[in-house]
């Protein structure tokens, strides 16, 4: 499958056809799918997480940094005791300025973004699979409240910054964890499995000051130990860290109700052409409807 990504200057920064022989074997053959069933069990995922938290995993960091051209000078630390410590590294705040304008709608994370309209019968085409709003939040009745609104899908790849923030000032509403089998976010996987029905996800309803009620869903992936959200505090501020993903590719989804936001033209045009737009945490991607 071809993946096309543009930056905010409307320049293509990545056009590639993903060919992963391992994943083709796992998802495309009977033996592979049998193995996959074992690999996606929680006990295996926890074991993998333990390995990534071990000191021996720190040996993987140098090669990964070089291969993906990651500038560690942008981060608070440049030495790590484990791969997971590296993977969840914190960036210097100056490198991710948050747009504080109340009318600016910001990205919650570094990612590649696609936007879809929501209507009564809508299904979202995400890497060759289709998902209803009810599938994403695990509540068909609640999903009806988002008809006419927007579904924003932020895809994080392994080289992205894996911490995410709140998009506005507000108060937390209902939260719930939805269990599921863990599957990779690689496009090949989606030819065989519906990732959002198979993957675990954490859904939080946010009562925001400027954009109404927003549903934020963090989605885990194959071999991810967990989605780490911060608990105990009900009020939040724009740009405040909400949580982070441990090792693995992951996705953040925002559902916004009708009449609250508009998205920037480049993002809408790219999404209409199924081209992802590269965005950064705290960056303006749209605005508040008056």
3-state secondary structure of 106: strand
**Residue 166: CB partners within 8 Å, gap ≥ 6?**
108, 206, 236, 237, 238, 239, 240, 242
Instruction: Please state the domain extents for the chain.
Output: 1-290
Q: What integer pLDDT is reported at residue 121 of this predicted model?
A: 87
pLDDT digits (tens), the chain, 290 positions: 578 999 999 999 988 765 567 667 766 677 877 777 777 676 777 777 788 889 999 999 999 999 999 999 999 999 999 999 999 999 999 999 999 999 999 999 999 999 999 998 888 754 445 678 988 888 999 999 999 999 999 999 888 999 999 999 999 999 988 776 655 666 666 655 555 346 778 899 999 999 999 999 998 765 554 789 998 779 999 999 999 998 766 889 999 999 999 999 999 999 999 899 999 999 999 999 97
Q: Which pLDDT score, from 0 to 100, does residue 130 have?
A: 64
Taking a C-beta distance cutoff of 8 angstroms, is the pair 247, 85 a contact?
A: no
CA dist 81 and 97 (Å) reads 28
- pTM here is 0.89
Query: In this predicted structure, what is the pLDDT of residue 196?
Result: 39
Q: What is the pLDDT of residue 236?
A: 97
DSSP bridge partners of 176 = 203
Beta strands in the chain (DSSP E): 2-6, 12-17, 104-106, 111-117, 124-126, 129-131, 150-156, 163-165, 170-178, 201-208, 212-219, 227-229, 235-236, 241-245, 250-256, 261-263, 276-279, 284-288
Active site residues: 110, 250
pLDDT value, residue 92: 97
Q: Terminus-to-terminus CA distance in the chain, angstroms?
A: 40
| pLDDT given at position 27 | 66
Position 15 scores a pLDDT of: 80
């Amino acid at each position: 499958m071809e993946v096309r990504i543009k930056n905010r200057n409307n320049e293509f920064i990545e056009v590639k056809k993903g060919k992963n022989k391992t994943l083709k074997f796992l998802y495309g053959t009977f033996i592979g799918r049998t193995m996959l069933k074992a690999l996606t069990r929680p006990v295996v995922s926890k074991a993998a997480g333990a390995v990534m938290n071990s000191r021996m995993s720190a040996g993987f960091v140098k090669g990964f940094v070089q291969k993906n051209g990651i500038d560690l000078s942008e981060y608070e630390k440049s030495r790590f005791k484990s791969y997971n410590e590296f993977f969840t590294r914190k960036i210097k705040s100056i490198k991710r300025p948050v747009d504080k304008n109340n009318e600016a709608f910001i990205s919650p994370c570094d990612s590649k973004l696609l936007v879809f309209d929501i209507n009564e019968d809508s299904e979202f085409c995400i890497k060759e699979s289709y998902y209803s709003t009810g599938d994403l939040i695990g509540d068909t009745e609640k999903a009806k409240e988002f008809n006419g609104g927007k579904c924003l899908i932020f895809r994080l790849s392994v080289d992205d910054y894996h911490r995410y923030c709140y998009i506005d000032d507000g108060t937390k509403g209902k939260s719930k964890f939805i269990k599921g089998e863990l599957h990779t976010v690689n496009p090949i996987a989606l030819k065989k499995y519906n990732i959002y029905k198979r993957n675990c996800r954490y859904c939080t309803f946010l009562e925001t000051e400027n954009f109404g009620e927003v549903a934020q869903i963090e989605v885990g992936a194959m071999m991810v130990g967990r989605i780490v959200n911060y608990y105990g505090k009900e009020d939040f501020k724009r740009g405040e860290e909400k949580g982070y993903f441990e090792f693995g590719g992951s996705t953040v989804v925002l559902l916004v109700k009708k009449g609250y936001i508009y998205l920037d033209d480049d993002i809408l045009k790219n999404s209409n052409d199924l081209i992802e737009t590269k965005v950064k945490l705290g960056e303006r991607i749209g605005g508040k409807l008056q």
